[in-house]
Amino acid sequence: MNKNPRFSLATVLLVSIGAALAIAQTNRPATGGTGACCLPLTNLAAISSHAPTNAPATQPEKKSLPKLLDLGAGKCIPCKMMFPVLDKLKKEYSGKLEVEFIDVWKNPDAGKQYGIEVIPTQIFYDTTGKELFRHIGFFGKEDILGKWKELGVELK
C-alpha cells in the first residue's frame, strides 16, 4: 500500500495529462469528435497565459460571402494544426470565402457566445449569416472544401 497519497494523485494526474495530450496529437480522420483539444472551456480563462481581451465577439454580419469561423486557441495542438489550413483557405479563396479565427482563451466570452464546449470548433455560415454546419476537432482543407460542396456552396 502506498503511504504517500499525494504521490499517487500526482502520478495519476501526470499520466492522465500525458494520455490526453497523446490522444489530442494523433492524426485521426476528421469526424465530429476527433482531433479536439481535451481541455474544458469552463476553465480556459484561468489557465490562459494571456489576459482576456474585452473586445466583444460579434455574430457573423450579413455579407455576400460564405464564412468559416474557427474557434480555438493559440496553444491548443489541434488548433495549431488548423492554422495552416485556415491560412491556405484565406489565400486561395480570397473574395469567395471569409475565414475568421477567434482565440477563446484570449476571449472566453466568444466561447460562451457561440456555445463552444471543445476546441477547435469550425462553424460554417451561408451568405446571410445563417449557421449551416458545425464541426469539432481538426478539419483538413479537402474535408472543409468537401463540406462546402455538400452544403451547396461552390467556391471555384
Domain residue limits, the chain: 41-150
Structure confidence at residue 155 as a pLDDT band (50, 70, 90): confident
pLDDT of the residue at 56: 52
- DSSP-H helix ranges across 93-139: 108-113
| Residue 142 confidence (pLDDT) above 50 | yes
Q: Is 119 left (phi over 0), alpha (psi -120 to 50) or beta?
A: beta
* CB within 8 Å of 1: residues ≥ 6 apart: none
pLDDT of the residue at 130: 95
pLDDT in tens, 35-83: 556 444 544 443 333 333 444 555 655 448 999 999 999 999 999 999 9
Rg (CA), the chain: 18
Q: Would you say domain 41-150 falls under CATH 3.40.50.11540?
A: no
pLDDT of the residue at 64: 86
- Euclidean distance between CA atoms 92 and 97, whole angstroms: 9
Query: What are the backbone angles phi and psi of residue 103, rounded to the nearest 5°?
Result: -85, 110
* CB within 8 Å of 128: residues ≥ 6 apart: 62
- Euclidean distance between CA atoms 3 and 24, whole angstroms: 33
* CB within 8 Å of 69: residues ≥ 6 apart: 60, 100, 101, 102, 114, 122, 123, 125
